[in-house]
Amino acid sequence: MVEKSLFLAEKIKFAQKKLILLSILIPIYNCSAIKLVADLHRQGLDLGVEFEILVADDHSPEPVAGNEGINRLAYAKYEYLPENLGRSGSRNWLAQKAQYPYLLFIDGDMGVRDAGFLRKYKALLAEKTVICGGHFYESEPPEKERLLHWTYGRRREEKTAKERNKRPFQGFVPSNFVIPKALFEAIRFDESIRGYGHEDTLFGDILREMHGRDESVRVVHIDNGLVHLGLSTNAAFMDKVDGAVQNLIRLEKSHQFKATKLQETAAQLRFLAPVFRLLPLSFLRKRVMGTRNLRLLDLYKLGVYFVGV
């Protein structure tokens, strides 16, 4: 890592240029952000733009001590939050602290593989435009206890920009995206959504509504992916599935929210709801973890949904 004291010349140079003003915001929980920050920091310096990197540890029970070293980097700051704010709250906290007009949100368990990652975003920054870079997974499968997350990610989440741009608002995910700060402040993530899942779906739906009133508000998807490194265990992944479906049900009741494929499928099969409620969900859950069959996973989600509505 390079000490802040070595960068006076670069600070003067950036102050003179002021071409782009970018805040890179990284919420983390129980993970190290050291390599991610170092890679982004190097690209920021090479780009010759004014930037900052803010890392917020969302009150991890066992924070990685090495993350404190981020504070030795020029234009970078790490902070351990005194309480857990959740996925929405920690992102909102970071946005509030950001000093620059463009916000690049990156999840802490991502990795940079493209030396031109920041340069691609820099070329497209525009008012009222959200740019989503996407993410992908390693080609080599992980150990068996993490295969479910990897299988789901490879088959369901990895999509080209062309595919995502067919339904740009539904394709919004918060793991890697840029948004003008003024636009973000008009939306913010809904902090009533606790736990895992669908705070991003609601965010994308609000953007869709804003686009309906003002066509200059856009979501543009590009091929500028980060690699998803933080694979959950099979059991933890299924816990996230449960939490996401429960959050979806709460959103449906509180916001009349109907924007997901699961809800579309449930509406078509509503006449079968009594049958789905009889599914042995605990058994099905074990089968999904053991077989990694994504059609079984879809069936399980429908069962959890129909039990909850």
Domain ranges within the chain, ordered by starting residue: 4-228, 234-309
Looking at residue 236, its pLDDT comes to 95
Q: Is the pLDDT of residue 7 over 70?
A: no
Q: Is the pLDDT of residue 38 over 90?
A: yes
Give percent above pLDDT 90 in the chain: 72
Report residue 108's pLDDT band, with 50, 70 and 90 as the boundaries.
Answer: very high
Residue 114 burial (10 A CB sphere; 0-12, 13-18, 19+): middle
Report residue 17's pLDDT band, with 50, 70 and 90 as the boundaries.
Answer: very low
Report residue 6's pLDDT band, with 50, 70 and 90 as the boundaries.
Answer: very low
Looking at residue 20, its pLDDT comes to 63
Taking the whole predicted model, whether its pTM rises above 0.95 is answered as no
Q: What is the mean pLDDT of the chain?
A: 90
Report residue 258's pLDDT band, with 50, 70 and 90 as the boundaries.
Answer: confident
Q: Is the pLDDT of residue 190 over 50?
A: yes
Average pLDDT over residues 218-234: 96
Looking at residue 279, its pLDDT comes to 86
In tens, the pLDDT along 49-106 reads 899 999 999 999 988 989 999 999 999 999 999 999 988 999 999 999 999 999 999 9
Average pLDDT over residues 255-279: 85
Cα–Cα dist 108/87, whole Å? 11
What fold, for 4-228? Spore Coat Polysaccharide Biosynthesis Protein SpsA; Chain A (3.90.550)
In tens, the pLDDT along 111-163 reads 999 999 999 999 999 999 999 999 999 999 999 999 999 999 999 999 999 99
Residue with the larger pLDDT of the pair 297 and 191: 297
Cα–Cα dist 6/153, whole Å? 41
Written in H, E and C, the secondary structure of the chain is CCCHHHHHHHHHHHHHHCCCEEEEEEEECCCCCHHHHHHHHHHHHHHCCEEEEEEEECCCCCCCHHHHHHHHCCCEEEEECCCCCHHHHHHHHHHHHCCCCEEEEECCCEECCCCCHHHHHHCCCCCCEEEECCEECCCCCCCHHHHHHHHHHHHHHCCCHHHHCCCCCCCCCCCEEEEEHHHHHCCCCCCCCCCCCCHHHHHHHHHHHHHHHCCCCEEEECCCCEEECCCCCHHHHHHHHHHHHHHHHHHHHHHCCCCCHHHHHHHHCHHHHHHHCCCCHHHHHHHHHHHCCHHHHHHHHHHHHHHHC
Give percent above pLDDT 70 in the chain: 94
Looking at residue 70, its pLDDT comes to 96
Looking at residue 259, its pLDDT comes to 72
